[in-house]
Structure 1
Amino acid sequence: MAKQNFLLGRGERLTEDVTVRSGGGEKKAPYTFGEARSRLTPMLDQTVKEVDRLPDDAYPNDQAVVSLTLNPEYIAKSYFPAELLRDVGIEIVGSRPRKVTPEKRSRDREPTAAMTTELFARGPRSALRHWSASLPNWAADRRSADELASIEEISAPTPSEKIKGALPATGMLPMEVVLHAGELEGEVDMLEEFQRYLRKRKIPIAFGRRFYAQGLCFLELDAPAEHAEEVATFSTVRALRKMPELRLLRPTIRSPGLPTSRPELPTEPPVSDDVRVAIFDGGVPEGHPILQWVTPYELEGMQPASREFYEHGVAVSSAALFGPDRPGR
């Protein structure tokens, strides 16, 4: 087949600069600068009052955590209010999605509920007080003034809002406490400050296991349930909930003809003595026949197993040892 030569029309344009237009034009803000300043001023005043209402030692190194909810029209990274945060002296330590109905939308559209981002910002209480006192006097030509319109709400998370789910009224309770702290900060300073705060209130506590992920510390804490709100008052606490319990899977069995007779255990030795398997489940009770193949371990701090846990633990251990009770099942 003969080689084809393609003719490139207007090829001389390749030697000229081509301007590509992108974006949707200038951003239309839902609020004017004056509107944003007027609506945020009372929110910020109330936030500072809530912050000052709590005891001083609830703020490690005088750092308070507040909530800044973005207007849904400003969730793109390019609209992040970085200049505003630098101007007032606070930094972002976390975020989460949140659904809100804004007071206004741009271009006179009707406000509707929409997903947005709630930012958790941390900074000295003095910085928050200064922002609150100075905001009514901000001018429209201030460097960060335009970013005020990106903030829909400002608030201080209350202790009761941090407690997730229902808790018992009294008694020692294993809790999961989530702190705004990376591993370096947590191990060097934050956990010590948290422990000092709890001990000052004579709250009997015991720190358990913990791990860090994405700027958060997930801490196991045993403390009296009646003191949960005091624990959540510590500013760096993001959430507190009852430690999840082991829940047994009880699938619906539709097949008839389950074996009703006691199964016969094998008499021959194991295929290999070199293979070991770790099973984390409900345990095996003393005197059970499969203990000739199973070695139970009770770790420090474990609660006593119930009959239901033992039944599940025996079933799982048996399945690991001998396989299904019927081939193909």
Structure 2
Amino acid sequence: MAERNLLLGKGEALTSAKKIKRGSGPKKYPYTLDEVKQSITTSLEQVQRSLAELPRAAKPRGEGVFELTLHPAFLGRSYFPKGILKKSGLRDVGSKETTITPRKVTDENDVGKEQATATIFIAGNESAVGNLQKLLNESSLSATLERELREIESVRWIANKDKIRGVLPDDDKLHSFEVALHAGADEEDVVASFAEFVKSFAGKADLKRRIKVGGLTFIPVYSSSEAMLKIAAHAFLRVARPMPELRIAHPTMARATLSNYTASLPLQPAYSPEQSVAIFDGGLGTSDLSSWATEYYYEDTGETHGNLLMHGNEVTSTFLFGRLTSEDDTLKRPFMNVHHYRVLSPVSGRDPDLFDVLLKIKDALDSGDYKFANLSLGPRMPITDEEVHAWTATLDQICSRHGAVAGAECNTVIGLKWAHRAA
């Protein structure tokens, strides 16, 4: 049957100019200025009072940090309250996604529903907080300042316990914690202040292993649980959690074998030998894959274990050649080469290793030499809370900076490999 040509109905309409309506009229605001004033005045007084009560050692530069949450209707960049922050002398030091049920909505279909919005971490001294309070009470405001104030859903001082994630050990022993500070590259005074504050509670902030990511600094801290609750009073501490163990993917010992069948390695070099994927695992320990894989190890990973090498070889060979599905199947020619970083040792999994391994990964990927990476390791913890993590924050930034793709498991990267070949 011959294919039919379909006619475009009313095609003549495409030959004349049409005016397209953009937008849906003026922006709707859920709250009046008076409603915002009634809602956050008491909260700002609490912020002012709590900041005044903080010991000087807990507030470098005399500043405290509190939360300002925007109404869900105002998520675009243009709604950032830069006008009221500048006018008050406050500054933002970070943000996070929050889910709330707002008191009022702009769309009746959203009544009583949870909605995603942005919570901004605001830093400032008592005088700046006082300026924001005065701003609320001014009889005449510019249109911009009034609009920004009406976009606010709530203001909240952050209590010590609200900065803790996970369950604190119920004893008086020293434990390791992962702490995130609101401290960027040029805020070493904040980091130094925190280290001294930790020391005052008989704890230790391990600054040698700190990792800076954007406006955050992640630091391993050693203290008792009781002390950590007090350390959380430091104004620039964003979140603290018990240090998770390092999760290591061990090789699967049970195997479904193919009888009387031995696979032979391909003879060809990789399709793109000038490209390499970075694999971070337990090492190779042999030269069997040297035609396509180069192994790198560190002073503290020179000693190893058979299980670690077995898994490192499994991951690397699967990436290079794919998986065999039958006795007639053959090992495929690799698409690219592998740089295998042996970042694990037989003692990996102890407290410092979470940061030590991450620093090794960070240094390798920050070279900018890799567009693909595979990690079969990481913190043993569910990523369920809404706060930042050293691993996700670090890897997200590196991948963004260098245009790299990181896979959490070998199969993920294999899928990317074939997709890349198809492209």
Q: Is the 8 A contact 1:69 1:152 kept in 2?
A: yes
Q: 1:34 to 1:297 in 2, by over 3 A?
A: same
Deviation of 1:20 after TM superposition, in Å, equals: 7.2
Structure 2 CA distance, aligned partners of 1:278 and 1:37? 54
Identity across the alignment (%): 27
Structure 2 matches for 1:126-275, cutoff 5 A? Answer: 126-132=127-133, 134=134, 137-142=137-142, 144-169=145-170, 170-186=172-188, 189-250=189-250, 255-257=255-257
Counterpart of 2:411? none
Letter in 2 for 1:117: A
Q: Is the 8 A contact 1:66 1:157 kept in 2?
A: yes
Q: 1:246 to 1:240 in 2, by over 3 A?
A: same
Letter in 1 for 2:60: P
Deviation of 1:120 after TM superposition, in Å, equals: 0.6
Structure 1 CA distance, aligned partners of 2:199 and 2:212? 23
Structure showing greater relative contact order (alpha-carbon pairs closer than 8 Å, 6 or more residues apart): 1
Counterpart of 2:88? 88
Q: Is the 8 A contact 1:283 1:296 kept in 2?
A: no
Structure 2 CA distance, aligned partners of 1:183 and 1:138? 37
Letter in 1 for 2:225: A
Deviation of 1:104 after TM superposition, in Å, equals: 0.6
Deviation of 1:246 after TM superposition, in Å, equals: 1.8
Secondary structure at 2:187's aligned position in 1?
A: helix
Q: 1:88 to 1:108 in 2, by over 3 A?
A: farther
Secondary structure at 1:73's aligned position in 2?
A: coil
Letter in 2 for 1:83: G
Counterpart of 2:310? 315
Name the stretch that deviates more: 70-79 or 250-259. Answer: 250-259
Secondary structure at 1:112's aligned position in 2?
A: coil
Normalising by structure 1, we get a TM-score of 0.71
Name the stretch that deviates more: 88-97 or 238-247. Answer: 238-247
Structure 2 CA distance, aligned partners of 1:83 and 1:222? 40
Q: Is the 8 A contact 1:182 1:214 kept in 2?
A: yes
Q: 1:157 to 1:171 in 2, by over 3 A?
A: same
Name the stretch that deviates more: 94-103 or 190-199. Answer: 190-199
Structure 2 CA distance, aligned partners of 1:131 and 1:310? 60
How many pairs are equivalent?
A: 280
Structure 2 CA distance, aligned partners of 1:206 and 1:254? 41
Unaligned runs of 5+ residues in structure 2 are 1-12, 260-277, 286-294, 325-329, 333-423
Counterpart of 2:99? 99
Compute the RMSD of aligned alpha carbons.
4.0
Deviation of 1:33 after TM superposition, in Å, equals: 1.3
Q: 1:156 to 1:314 in 2, by over 3 A?
A: same
Deviation of 1:115 after TM superposition, in Å, equals: 0.5
Counterpart of 1:268? none
Q: Is the 8 A contact 2:250 2:311 kept in 1?
A: no
Letter in 2 for 1:195: A
Structure 1 CA distance, aligned partners of 2:68 and 2:55? 22
Deviation of 1:67 after TM superposition, in Å, equals: 0.3
Structure 2 CA distance, aligned partners of 1:196 and 1:224? 16
Letter in 2 for 1:172: L
Name the stretch that deviates more: 228-237 or 216-225. Answer: 216-225
Structure 2 CA distance, aligned partners of 1:295 and 1:93? 37
Structure 2 CA distance, aligned partners of 1:295 and 1:136? 59
Letter in 1 for 2:173: G
Structure 1 CA distance, aligned partners of 2:176 and 2:282? 19
Q: Is the 8 A contact 1:208 1:221 kept in 2?
A: no
Secondary structure at 2:246's aligned position in 1?
A: coil
Deviation of 1:152 after TM superposition, in Å, equals: 0.4
Counterpart of 1:24? 24
Counterpart of 1:36? 36
Q: Deviations over 1:258-281 (max 9, x none)?
A: 99xxxxxxxxxxxxxxxxx99754
Structure 2 CA distance, aligned partners of 1:145 and 1:195? 40
Q: Deviations over 1:164-188 (max 9, x none)?
A: 11232332222221111111213xx
Q: Is the 8 A contact 2:185 2:214 kept in 1?
A: no
Q: Is the 8 A contact 1:37 1:135 kept in 2?
A: no
Deviation of 1:61 after TM superposition, in Å, equals: 0.8
Deviation of 1:108 after TM superposition, in Å, equals: 5.9
Counterpart of 1:119? 120
Structure 1 CA distance, aligned partners of 2:309 and 2:83? 60
Q: Is the 8 A contact 1:38 1:136 kept in 2?
A: no
Q: 1:116 to 1:318 in 2, by over 3 A?
A: closer
Letter in 2 for 1:24: S
Q: 1:63 to 1:258 in 2, by over 3 A?
A: farther
Larger radius of gyration: 1
Letter in 1 for 2:100: V
Q: Deviations over 1:289-318 (max 9, x none)?
A: xxxx9999447xxxxx9xxx9563243366
Q: Is the 8 A contact 1:171 1:226 kept in 2?
A: no
